[in-house]
């Protein structure tokens, strides 16, 4: 009999695995699926990045060899220059930057590098599922910090019991936030986080994967730009969303050199790092600005179109300041329905796939996340289908 570890058995089913099953069922019924489930960018990687990759692979065979695990110096320098330009944060490329095979990998390995059985990690709920699951996989114990709409989806630090705080090793924060789309509007919150982390000797793991996908003049901060942040924290970043490079698997962690040294040490035992040609393509990516603006403009166009259309059926969704998601309560008359059940009904009836809020944690129940990852013209189709779906119920609807 095959008997996997308790850790594996204790994991909830991976959210996007559940969505994939729903999609497969819809495909088998020959439904024309509009996939707004996973945050998987549909736009192509910008041309200059592709050209750099092709040129490098073709003309520089040394890049075919094992890479430098923590990232080649040129890559780490490019990150450090980008941080200076973008956030006015100084990073020593030698020991304050580590290349990652995507930030998902980095976050997961980070937990292994730091957690012993029973160590507590303060995890937001709802959250990007890896923030929770990686703690379980590493043998740690997540303590949920509810992100509630009435608190602007920020955790309330005073609500964390003293005895939990004392036993906590890591606090995870992620703004712009997946799935709630919340952003940091007041840097005082981050200052309070630093004080809290200092008081209880907690590492802050700040996930900034969506820092560049912002709208209406909002500019996302880096945690590291706050005084004292580097004493307590590290920031995780991804090329996936900013440069439409989700399939390339490249990201980085930066910040406190001592903390990062343990991540790098752990990783040196489990992987060989990001392929050198991908790192060099990443260096090219960090030079681009126009292409990033185009990506953001395209997401914004989709968001504006879709939100505008849904208003017509009285489904009011607040425009997000960042990310390519909409986070919305399950509309009336379905409001009491569990989000997984609603998502199932939605895809079965309309062919539209969304992510159920409960897949992001207990406090996501009652909501769904809609990813803006398909051609803008498809949102008209999606709207027509939703209108029909919602008009079946005579009471009309609203998510207020």
Residues lying near ligand PLP in the complex (CB under 6 A) are found at 39, 102-104, 128, 174, 178, 207, 209, 238, 240, 246, 251
Half-sphere exposure of 45 (CA within 13 A, CB side): 21
The C-alpha torsion from 240 through 241 and 243 to 247, rounded to 10°, is 30
Least gap, CB of 193 to ligand PLP (angstroms): 17
Cβ proximity to ligand PLP, 13 vs 336, nearer residue: 13
Q: Which helix (H) or strand (E) holds 237?
A: strand 233-238
Least gap, CB of 392 to ligand PLP (angstroms): 33
Parallel, antiparallel, or unpaired: how do β-strands 367-371 and 325-329 relate? Answer: antiparallel
Cβ proximity to ligand PLP, 208 vs 328, nearer residue: 208
Least gap, CB of 396 to ligand PLP (angstroms): 34
Cβ proximity to ligand PLP, 177 vs 339, nearer residue: 177
Least gap, CB of 191 to ligand PLP (angstroms): 22
- Residue 364 structure tokens: 């996501």
Least gap, CB of 239 to ligand PLP (angstroms): 7
Least gap, CB of 62 to ligand PLP (angstroms): 26
Cβ proximity to ligand PLP, 178 vs 358, nearer residue: 178
Place of tokens 């809290």: 196
Cβ proximity to ligand PLP, 291 vs 389, nearer residue: 291
Least gap, CB of 394 to ligand PLP (angstroms): 38
Q: CA triplet 253, 259, 262: central angle to 5 degrees?
A: 90
Cβ proximity to ligand PLP, 360 vs 379, nearer residue: 360
Distance of alpha carbon 374 from alpha carbon 370, whole angstroms: 11
Least gap, CB of 178 to ligand PLP (angstroms): 4
Cβ proximity to ligand PLP, 209 vs 326, nearer residue: 209
**Distance from first CA to last CA of the chain, Å, rounded?**
51
Q: CA distances (Å), 74 to each of 48, 105, 286, in order? A: 18, 21, 12
Closest CA to 49 of 290, 398, 269, 335: 290
Least gap, CB of 77 to ligand PLP (angstroms): 20
Least gap, CB of 312 to ligand PLP (angstroms): 30
List beta partners, residue 391: none
List beta partners, residue 172: 205
Cβ proximity to ligand PLP, 178 vs 256, nearer residue: 178
Least gap, CB of 161 to ligand PLP (angstroms): 26
Bond into 264 cis (ω within 30): no
Cβ proximity to ligand PLP, 104 vs 230, nearer residue: 104
Query: Which residues, other chains included, contact 269 with Cβ-Cβ below 8 Å and sequence gap of 6+?
Result: none
Cβ proximity to ligand PLP, 351 vs 364, nearer residue: 364
DSSP codes, 308-376: HHHHHTT---PPPSBSSEEEEEPPTTSTTS-HHHHHHHHHHHH-EE-EEGGGG-GGGTTEEEEE--S-T
Taking phi first (over 0 means left), then psi (-120 to 50 degrees means alpha), and beta for anything else, what does residue 314 get?
left
Cβ proximity to ligand PLP, 207 vs 344, nearer residue: 207
Q: Which helix (H) or strand (E) holds 280?
A: helix 276-285
Q: CA triplet 104, 153, 179: central angle to 5 degrees?
A: 40
């Amino acid at each position: 009999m095959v008997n996997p570890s308790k850790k594996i058995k204790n994991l909830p089913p991976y959210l996007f695995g559940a969505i994939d099953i729903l999609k497969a069922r819809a495909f088998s019924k020959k439904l024309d699926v509009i996939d707004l489930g996973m945050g998987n960018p549909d736009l192509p990687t910008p041309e200059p990045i592709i050209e750099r990759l092709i040129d490098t692979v073709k003309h520089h065979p040394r890049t075919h060899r094992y890479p430098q695990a923590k990232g080649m110096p040129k890559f780490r320098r490019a990150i450090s220059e980008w941080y200076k330009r973008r956030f006015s944060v100084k990073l020593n490329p030698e020991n304050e930057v580590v290349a990652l095979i995507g930030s998902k990998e980095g976050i997961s390995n980070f937990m292994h590098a730091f957690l012993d059985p029973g160590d507590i990690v303060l995890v937001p709920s709802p959250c990007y599922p890896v923030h929770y699951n990686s703690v379980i996989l590493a043998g740690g114990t997540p303590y949920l910090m509810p992100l509630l709409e009435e608190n602007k989806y920020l955790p309330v630090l005073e609500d964390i019991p003293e005895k939990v705080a004392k036993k906590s090793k890591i606090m995870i924060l992620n703004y712009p936030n997946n799935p709630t789309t919340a952003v940091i509007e007041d840097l005082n919150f981050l200052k309070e986080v630093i004080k809290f982390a200092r008081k209880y000797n907690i590492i802050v793991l700040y996930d900034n994967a969506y820092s560049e996908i912002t709208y209406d003049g909002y500019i996302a901060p880096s945690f590291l730009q706050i005084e004292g942040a580097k004493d307590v924290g590290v920031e995780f970043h991804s090329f996936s969303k900013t440069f439409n490079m989700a399939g390339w698997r490249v990201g980085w962690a930066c910040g406190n050199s001592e903390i990062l040294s343990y991540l790098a040490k752990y990783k040196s035992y489990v992987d060989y790092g990001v392929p050198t040609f991908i790192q060099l393509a990443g260096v090219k990516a960090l030079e681009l600005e126009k292409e990033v603006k185009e990506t953001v403009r395209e997401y914004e166009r989709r968001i504006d179109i879709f939100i505008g259309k849904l208003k017509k059926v009285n489904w009011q969704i607040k425009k997000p300041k960042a990310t390519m998601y909409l986070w919305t309560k399950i509309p009336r008359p379905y409001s009491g329905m569990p989000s997984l059940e609603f998502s199932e009904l939605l895809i079965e009836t309309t062919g539209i796939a969304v992510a159920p809020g409960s897949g992001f944690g207990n406090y996501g129940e009652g909501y769904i996340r809609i990813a803006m990852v398909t051609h803008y013209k498809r949102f008209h189709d999606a709207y027509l289908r939703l209108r029909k779906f919602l008009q079946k119920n005579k009471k009309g609807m609203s998510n207020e």
